[in-house]
Amino acid sequence: MALRIGTALLGGGASCREVEAAMRAVTSAYRLNGSVPNVTFSMISLSYQPSVDVAPLAADRSVLDRGSHYTRVDDVERLTARIADGLSPSAAAEQLAAIERGPGPYPQWVLSVATALVSAFAAVMVGGGWWVLLGALGGGLIGERAAAAVARTGAAPFYQLGAAAIAAAGIGVAASTVIDRSHAGAMITGALFAQFPGRPLVLAINDGLAGYFLTAGARLLEAFFLLTAIVCGVTGTLYIGRLAGAGPTVQDTSFGQAPTAGWALVLTAGALTAAFAVIHEVPPRAIAAATATGLACFTTYHLLVVAHLAPVAATAVAAILIGIFGGLGARVLGSSTLPLMVPALAPLLPGRSLYLGLLALSEGRFASGGPQLALAITLSLTLAVGTDVGRQIAGRPDPATGHPGRPAEPA
């Protein structure tokens, strides 16, 4: 039971600390005190030694299918709490099997539309108008379908994300022949928001700060490969488009200089957060809380930037607030913090810096592209570290109790 619960949590997007805490809660509830769980990037093991003169028992499971299924994570953590409260093993096994077999909270077409909406709202946030919104919507949808088609062949996530990047950038390049090229840049930037590997990066920093260095390194490598797929797909498409006489250039980057009006920007950030929550299959009961967190923290960021605070410092403040609100909200809802924090990061992702860096690299301008990519990486790390700092300030809720800092009581 502990191994199955750990597998469901790790495969659904939980951190190593949350997985180990849940496994300890299960073994403690069923009087297997002294069990030692060990969680890595793709492997879960559990050992139990009844006494020093008895050989220990050990079992392990591989977790190769990983994604963002936060509704499943929420259901499993609620089951863990019921086990800690005395649920019998047979009843727990039936409920876990129902969770594993059950469908996700949203049908596939809703997930596809949400992915397209993330691209559209992000394009509006960097200054695009109605035509840009529609183009980014189409580009995001085509990119998502391209990634799904590649996934059906059994290809690795690297190629799935590369296909999505090529499709989305291709729509932007094609649109540059009929609309202003700077607007085409906004369309491509919007697509980058939907593809940016923010979740693996956040989990990598969280696991690293919690002492799971092997897993943190593996997650960072995963984020690096996914980012490389975006780099290859976007830069290659931009380069080919330029050879054909189409596509934006580094002179066509005015879309970020006159952004959407303040009130509209904040509302769009809220809509972007809600769509991002759907992509990650956040439980429907938590979407409002995640959206409110994103709205409040992005509003804080926007006000700080208007007050001429440096973007990195403003991002750090907003990220810490996301961690605090996520921790407090998780305590109220009795769930994990990640379903509230990951969607709230969406409006703060460095999509524009990433796009400008890739655009410069596609033209061979390494001196100007390098600093933009470095800024994108710096902002990403700031978001990841800031959220963990905020979560520590709020108090990390235990999966088996829902209260910060209180371990599960042994049966």
**CB of 105 within 8 A of CB of 71?**
yes
State the CB neighbour count (10 A cutoff) for residue 334.
15
Helix %, strand %, coil % of the chain (to 5): 70, 5, 25
* Dist. CA 44–CA 31, nearest whole Å: 20
Residue with tokens 């909200």: 329
Residue with tokens 């876990």: 96
Query: What is the reported pTM?
Result: 0.83
* Dist. CA 203–CA 288, nearest whole Å: 23
The continuous run of DSSP H or E covering 324 comes out as helix 311-333
**pLDDT tens, position by position, for the chain (411 residues)?**
999 999 999 988 888 888 998 999 999 999 888 888 988 888 899 998 888 788 888 999 988 777 788 888 989 988 999 999 889 989 999 999 999 888 888 998 999 899 889 988 888 887 767 778 888 888 888 888 888 899 889 888 889 989 988 888 888 888 877 776 667 777 877 777 777 777 788 888 888 888 888 888 888 888 888 888 888 888 888 888 888 877 666 555 554 444 455 778 888 889 999 999 999 899 998 999 999 999 999 999 989 988 989 989 999 999 999 999 988 988 888 777 888 898 999 888 887 787 778 777 777 777 777 888 888 888 888 988 899 899 888 875 544 444 444 343 333
- In DSSP terms, 46 is beta-bridged to 37, 59
* Dist. CA 335–CA 375, nearest whole Å: 33
Residue 344 three-state SS? helix
CA atoms within 13 A on the CB side of 239: 13
**CB of 18 within 8 A of CB of 37?**
no
* Dist. CA 190–CA 168, nearest whole Å: 9
Burial grade of 193 (CB within 10 A; 0-12, 13-18, 19 or more)? buried
Give φ, ψ of 2 to 5 degrees: -65, -40
